[in-house]
Amino acid sequence: MKYLLCIFLILSTPLLLWGASTATTGGQLIDQQEIRQILDDYLAEQSELLPHVDLRFKSLSLPKPYRVPEGRIVHQVIPAKPGVIGSRRVTLMTRVDGRIVSNQSIRVEIEALADVAIATGSLRRGTVLRPEDVELRYQDISRLKTAIFSLDNLVGKRLKRSVRLGDPLKKDQVEFPPVIKRGEQVIIQARRRGFLLTATGLAKQDGSTGDAIRVTNATSHKEIVCQVVAPGLVRVEF
């Protein structure tokens, strides 16, 4: 029952909970090896949310080891940008028995590799895309916003902007009808390690499948960032 209560509380807050451990002796050292493990585990969890993307750290500026008092330890990793891709810093926040005891800002360089849609030629605004107009190419998308990972979603769609040969196509360049509209009531799913809870919310933005949109939890009135899964359904992982 305690675990279910914890998950419900997480659902109502925009912070991302990584995990928890317990210190059994007075004062515990959080060394660089443990910090690196926390960050690696967090990035692995984020990769599960983005099945098309391979995430890895190119570089890390780890902080010095630090000590925390005895008690229940909870670590939170908070990226500078929602969805972690493009973040140049992450915050490692450590709580002991609910009290913040450390707040570390860590400089990172994250590589995000994926097969993304590329224009096979120069295409003008208004072009209705054909199969031969696009192809998938594996590349770093860490600086590419709203990449497109499937050609199936492109063929037959109209370009809103012109693109050049070899340019990656972005969602805002193509006319995609939203599957969730701003102001629409949605179901929020929250999952972590086998637990699943649902809540109702209100979409604050239009969104197509795979988009990250802001949603207000109808119970807590907290605004969280969720991924659009299907019409009327969004998901948040923690």
Residue 18, pLDDT score: 41
pLDDT band, residue 3 (cuts 50/70/90): very low
Banded model confidence at residue 195, pLDDT cuts 50, 70, 90: confident
Beta strands in the chain (DSSP E): 17-23, 28-30, 53-61, 66-68, 71-79, 89-96, 99-119, 134-140, 185-192, 195-203, 212-217, 223-230, 233-237
What SS3 class is residue 75?
strand
Give me the mean pLDDT over the 125-152 stretch. Answer: 89
In this prediction, residue 193 carries a pLDDT of 61
Query: Where do the CATH 2.30.30.760 domains begin and end in the chain?
Result: 185-237
What percentage of the chain carries pLDDT values higher than 70?
87
Kindly give, in sequence order, each residue whose CB lies less than 8 Å from that of residue 96, ignoring residues fewer than 6 positions away.
23, 68, 69, 70, 71, 72, 73, 74
- Would you tell me how many other CB atoms lie within 10 Å of the CB of residue 123? 22
Determine whether 76 is exposed, middle or buried from the number of CB atoms within 10 Å of its CB (0-12, 13-18, 19+): buried
Whole-angstrom Cα distance, residue 50 to residue 30? 29
> Is the predicted pLDDT of residue 24 greater than 50, yes or no?
no
Question: What's the confidence (pLDDT) of residue 182?
Answer: 93
Q: Report domain 185-237's class.
A: mainly beta
Q: What is the DSSP letter of 178?
A: -
CATH class of the structural domain 14-112 = alpha beta
Percent of the chain with pLDDT over 90: 56
The count of other CB atoms within 10 Å of the CB of residue 221 is 10
The whole-number average pLDDT for the span 91-107 is 94
pLDDT band for position 84 (cuts 50, 70, 90)? confident
